[in-house]
């Protein structure tokens, strides 16, 4: 049996490998093709999220790393764990003031010391989503904080959104699932 402390570096290496693959030109092409949004919507959403990330980084780069910015169809989702209430408010205000944003959702919690457990839960959730043959999970992003899984992204249908939530709820260690999954318009 592998020692629990050695599991986390292995999970981090696997996650890093997937992240690097997604940033290759082929990964970008695949992601664009699999995306439920039009290429024009993808471009607008990317511009919005980068603008918000820049505003946060300009204010405090270290704190900005604690808040992940997602944008789908001009709806912005701020997800993360940060104790600084002023920075949380700044991030939300920056998102609301960004040109083109229709709606802002915040899911910001206080920081905890559950990183190891959260990484393991996140890996189990991702594996379970990928293993489900009836679900296209390529556009589902997940964040795990203190055992709570937050799901953000585009799905093919409302049935896919419900299936993804059921799968995540069935994963060992998941305390709660919050879904911001949306089907195409």
Reported as a single tens digit per residue, the pLDDT across 62-110 is 999 999 999 999 999 999 999 999 999 999 999 999 999 999 999 999 9
The answer, as to whether pTM is greater than 0.85, is no
Q: Give the Cα separation of 89 and 53 in Å (integer).
A: 14
In the structure, what pLDDT confidence band is assigned to residue 22 with cuts at 50, 70 and 90? very low
Decide which of 120 and 26 is more confident: 120
Average of per-residue pLDDT values in the chain? 85
Compute the C-alpha angle 138/25/143, nearest 5°. Answer: 35
Q: Is the pLDDT of residue 181 over 90?
A: yes
Task: Return the exposure string of 28-43: e unless at least 16 CB atoms fall within 10 Å of the residue's CB, then b.
Answer: eeeeeeebbbeeebbe
Quote the percentage of the chain above a pLDDT of 90. 68
Closest CA to 35 of 136, 133, 126, 139: 139
Check residue 15 and give its pLDDT.
47
The strand pairing partners of 43, in sequence order, are none
In the structure, what pLDDT confidence band is assigned to residue 36 with cuts at 50, 70 and 90? confident
The domains of the chain, with CATH numbers, are 115-182 (3.30.1340.30)
Q: List, in sequence order, every beta strand (DSSP E) within the chain.
A: 67-72, 75-81, 103-109, 140-145, 148-154, 176-182
Contact status, residue 106 vs residue 125, Cβ threshold 8 Å = no
Q: Give the Cα separation of 158 and 144 in Å (integer).
A: 22
In the structure, what pLDDT confidence band is assigned to residue 123 with cuts at 50, 70 and 90? very high
CA distances (Å), 67 to each of 55, 81, 176, in order?
A: 12, 7, 19
Find the mean pLDDT for residues 159-177: 96
Check residue 9 and give its pLDDT.
52
The strand pairing partners of 178, in sequence order, are 150
* Weakest-pLDDT range from 3-7, 69-73, 75-79, 150-154: 3-7
């Amino acid at each position: 049996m592998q020692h629990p402390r050695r599991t986390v570096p292995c999970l981090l290496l696997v996650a890093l490998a997937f992240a690097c693959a997604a940033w290759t030109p082929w990964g970008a092409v695949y992601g664009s093709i699999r995306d439920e949004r039009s290429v024009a919507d993808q471009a607008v959403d990317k511009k919005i999220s980068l603008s918000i990330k820049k505003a946060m980084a300009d204010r405090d780069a270290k704190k900005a790393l604690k808040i992940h910015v997602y944008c789908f169809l001009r709806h912005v989702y701020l997800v993360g764990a940060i104790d600084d209430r002023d920075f949380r408010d700044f991030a939300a205000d920056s998102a609301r003031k960004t040109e083109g944003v229709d709606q802002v959702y915040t899911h910001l919690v206080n920081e905890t010391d559950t990183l190891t457990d959260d990484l393991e839960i996140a890996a189990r959730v991702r594996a379970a989503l990928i293993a489900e043959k009836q679900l296209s999970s390529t556009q589902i992003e997940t964040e795990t904080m203190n055992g709570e899984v937050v799901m953000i992204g585009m799905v093919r249908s409302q049935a896919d959104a419900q299936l993804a939530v059921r799968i995540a709820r069935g994963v060992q260690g998941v305390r709660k699932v919050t879904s911001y999954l949306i089907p195409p318009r």
